[in-house]
């Protein structure tokens, strides 16, 4: 359990690229959930990564209307790039993200955050592949997702169940220490974050979610799958480097110090 008795401050990031047509509706829905059904103080950050359709202007209007909504504008596209910049600049205790389509039921945000703040986990991820998950999606997407996750487990020897669900929360420690290490700027960011975190010894909470496929999704499945496969092989090579081994030794040494009652102030 976190030694502090106060509630954690949570910042929920919504990475967007050309989503002007749905942004106001999505932000309004997410705000309502955070205000009415989420137990911790929370704010929203719209991370506009290279939109050209007026998304930035809509985001500015929403931030002017609501004090708990902020905007971060990034000139280049890429969900990973947007999350890395947003999370590393945040000063919240827990930083999280959800896709703008809200495919994942927001009820899962509370157990992810409680897992980090109260149960000793370092990061949490939604999973569409656990037995308790409720998923509505097409056969093609479901099959590709399952095959991809089997590949991740076979090549990287990981334990988490779903590498690419667009719903995650991380501790301040992970945001400061692990997120800057993640090289991918696009969709593979999620897999790389989970794999590197697990191999460094950070604890991951797998949370089953209720998830409904977005019929308006513009993700190019086969192209993204190929980029993800290349990413898996790149991370596999990274895990054998001296740089990674040195980081892992440092994390383990600090964990032993913490268990002995020492300070946890040191960071990478």
What domains are defined for the chain?
10-232 (3.90.550.10)
The three-class DSSP label of residue 22 is coil
Q: Which two tokens stand for residue 222?
A: 């086969």
**Predicted model pTM:** 0.90
Q: Looking at residue 2, what is its pLDDT?
A: 53
Q: CB–CB of 105/182 below 8 Å?
A: no
pLDDT at 264: 40
List CB contacts of 24: < 8 A, sequence separation 6 or more.
58, 61, 62
pLDDT reported for residue 78:
94
Give the single-character DSSP code of 108. G
Angle at the Cα of 45 from the Cα atoms of 173 and 105, rounded to 5 degrees: 85
Residue 215 is predicted with a pLDDT of 63
Instruction: Give the per-residue pLDDT at 266.
Output: 38
DSSP 20: T
The confidence score (pLDDT) of residue 158 equals 97
Residue 120 backbone class (left: φ over 0; alpha: ψ -120 to 50; beta: rest):
left
Q: Choose among 191, 24, 11: nearest CA to 109.
A: 11
- Alpha-helical (H) ranges within the chain are 23-37, 55-65, 79-89, 109-118, 139-156, 172-177, 189-200, 221-238, 242-259
At residue 13, the pLDDT reads 98
Other residues' Cβ atoms within 10 Å of the Cβ of residue 142: 15
Q: Please, how many CA atoms are within 13 Å of residue 143, restricted to the half-sphere of its CB?
A: 4
Query: Do residues 48 and 55 touch, judged by C-beta distance below 8 A?
Result: yes
Q: For each successive 10 residues of the chain (268 residues), what is the average pLDDT?
A: 76 97 97 97 97 96 98 95 97 97 96 97 97 92 91 96 96 96 95 97 97 72 84 96 92 78 43
> Which pLDDT does position 131 carry in this prediction?
93
Separation CA 228–CA 203 (nearest Å)? 23
């Amino acid at each position: 359990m976190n030694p502090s008795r106060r509630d954690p401050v949570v910042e929920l990031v919504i990475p967007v690229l050309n989503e002007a047509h749905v942004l106001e509706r999505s932000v309004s829905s997410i705000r309502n959930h955070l205000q009415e059904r989420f137990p911790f103080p929370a704010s929203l950050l719209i991370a506009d990564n290279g939109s050209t359709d007026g998304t930035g202007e809509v985001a500015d209007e929403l931030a002017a209307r609501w004090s708990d909504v902020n905007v971060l504008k990034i000139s280049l596209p890429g969900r990973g790039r947007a999350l890395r910049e947003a999370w590393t600049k945040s000063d919240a205790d827990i930083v999280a993200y959800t896709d703008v389509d809200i495919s994942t039921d927001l009820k899962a945000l509370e157990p992810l955050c409680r897992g980090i703040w109260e149960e000793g986990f370092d990061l949490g991820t939604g999973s569409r592949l656990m037995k308790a998950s409720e998923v509505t999606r097409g056969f093609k997407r479901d099959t590709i997702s399952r095959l991809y996750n089997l590949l991740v487990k076979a090549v990287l020897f990981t334990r988490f169940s779903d590498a690419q669900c667009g719903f995650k929360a991380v501790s301040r420690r992970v945001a400061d220490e692990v997120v800057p290490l993640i090289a991918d700027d696009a969709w593979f960011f999620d897999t790389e974050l989970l794999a590197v975190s697990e191999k460094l010894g950070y604890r991951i909470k797998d949370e089953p979610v209720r998830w409904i496929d977005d019929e308006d999704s513009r993700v190019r499945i086969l192209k993204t799958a190929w980029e993800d496969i290349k990413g898996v092989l790149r991370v596999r090579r990274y895990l054998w480097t001296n740089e990674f081994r040195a980081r892992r030794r440092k994390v383990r040494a600090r964990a032993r110090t913490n268990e002995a009652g020492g300070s946890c102030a040191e960071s990478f």
